[in-house]
């Protein structure tokens, strides 16, 4: 990527890019899989750098692939070694953000086609005074809850459900506190994202509309769908 961050931007973005991508089949780590000849991470970073508010971009790379990632993203982007799980990767990236950034967004490289407008909307909602902001979409499938042995506990009211995307935006102090609390806490319910960690602090989470383009690329079908979206 030849673009760089905007020195005037007030938003730092952390990109979790250390996932394995096992569900895509054998191959390199997920963020380095190709979509139209370019790694997912490159698609993601290019879109993030298309947002003038982004003044700092930190990528948590798959351990062992840091140099490859540095070559891909260019000198305008910070690269750190990712951890064993997503939360550790985010914490490592957060530690690399200069003090002056008060707004931090956390993004997944696997949501490689997330439009810059979605990034801007999340950042704007934090700047407007919300401690935590998530982009969400309505849920199409009926969802049911199952117990530990797979027994059906009951259908959820779909009208009250939303699928959560990224980037998720936070006032920096809130995200830092949430990760510190998660690090020291006894094993609680598995939080799958940063907003989930922040909720445990009792922080109110605000939503903005997500987009179909921000789909999480997890399976070969998702990759094919992403190619279609790129062409559309």
Question: Contact residues for a copy of itself (CB under 8 A)?
Answer: 134, 136, 139-147, 150-165, 189-193, 195-196, 199, 204-207, 212, 216, 218-219, 221, 224-225, 228-229
Cα 126 from chain centre: 16
Instruction: State which residue, 117 or 146, has the beta carbon closest to a copy of itself.
Output: 146
Q: How far is the CB of 117 from a copy of itself (least distance, A)?
A: 18
Query: From CA 131, how far away is CA 173, in angstroms rounded?
Result: 9
Q: How far is the CB of 105 from a copy of itself (least distance, A)?
A: 16
Instruction: State which residue, 9 or 169, has the beta carbon closest to a copy of itself.
Output: 169
Query: From CA 154, how far away is CA 143, in angstroms rounded?
Result: 9
Q: How far is the CB of 210 from a copy of itself (least distance, A)?
A: 10
Instruction: State which residue, 64 or 138, has the beta carbon closest to a copy of itself.
Output: 138
Round to the nearest angstrom and report the end-to-end CA distance of the chain. Answer: 22
Instruction: State which residue, 33 or 65, has the beta carbon closest to a copy of itself.
Output: 33
Peptide bond into 167 cis (omega under 30): yes
Instruction: State which residue, 46 or 216, has the beta carbon closest to a copy of itself.
Output: 216
Instruction: State which residue, 23 or 183, has the beta carbon closest to a copy of itself.
Output: 23
Q: How far is the CB of 176 from a copy of itself (least distance, A)?
A: 19
Query: From CA 181, how far away is CA 186, in angstroms rounded?
Result: 10
Query: From CA 145, how far away is CA 2, in angstroms rounded?
Result: 46
Q: How far is the CB of 145 from a copy of itself (least distance, A)?
A: 5
Query: How many Å is the Cα radius of gyration of the chain?
Result: 17
- Selection from 211, 226, 228, 193 nearest residue 43 by Cα: 226
Peptide bond into 82 cis (omega under 30): no
Instruction: State which residue, 53 or 193, has the beta carbon closest to a copy of itself.
Output: 193
Q: How far is the CB of 15 from a copy of itself (least distance, A)?
A: 17
Kind of pairing between the strands at 54-61 and 132-138? unpaired
Torsion of CA 202, 208, 224, 65, to 10 degrees: -50
Q: How far is the CB of 130 from a copy of itself (least distance, A)?
A: 11
- Is residue 109 classed as helix, strand or coil in its secondary structure? coil
């Amino acid at each position: 990527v030849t673009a760089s961050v905007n020195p005037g931007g007030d938003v730092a973005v952390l990109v979790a890019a250390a996932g394995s991508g096992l569900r895509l089949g054998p191959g390199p780590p997920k963020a380095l899989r190709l979509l139209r000849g370019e790694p997912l991470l490159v698609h993601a970073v290019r879109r993030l750098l298309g947002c003038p508010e982004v003044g700092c971009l930190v990528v948590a790379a798959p351990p062992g692939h840091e140099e490859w990632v540095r070559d891909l993203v260019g000198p305008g982007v910070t690269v750190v070694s990712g951890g064993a799980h997503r939360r550790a990767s985010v914490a490592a990236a957060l530690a690399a953000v200069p003090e002056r950034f008060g707004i931090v967004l956390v993004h997944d490289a696997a949501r490689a086609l997330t439009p810059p407008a979605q990034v801007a909307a999340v950042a704007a909602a934090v700047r407007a005074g919300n401690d935590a902001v998530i982009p969400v979409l309505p849920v199409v499938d009926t969802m049911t809850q199952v117990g530990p042995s797979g027994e059906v506990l009951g259908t959820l009211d779909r009208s009250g459900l939303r699928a959560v995307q990224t980037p998720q935006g936070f006032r920096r102090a809130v995200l830092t506190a949430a990760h510190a609390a998660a690090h020291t806490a006894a094993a609680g319910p598995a939080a799958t994202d940063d907003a989930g960690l922040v909720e445990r602090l009792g922080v109110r989470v605000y939503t903005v509309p997500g987009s179909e383009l921000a789909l999480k690329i997890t399976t070969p079908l998702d990759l094919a769908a992403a190619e279609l979206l790129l062409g559309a």
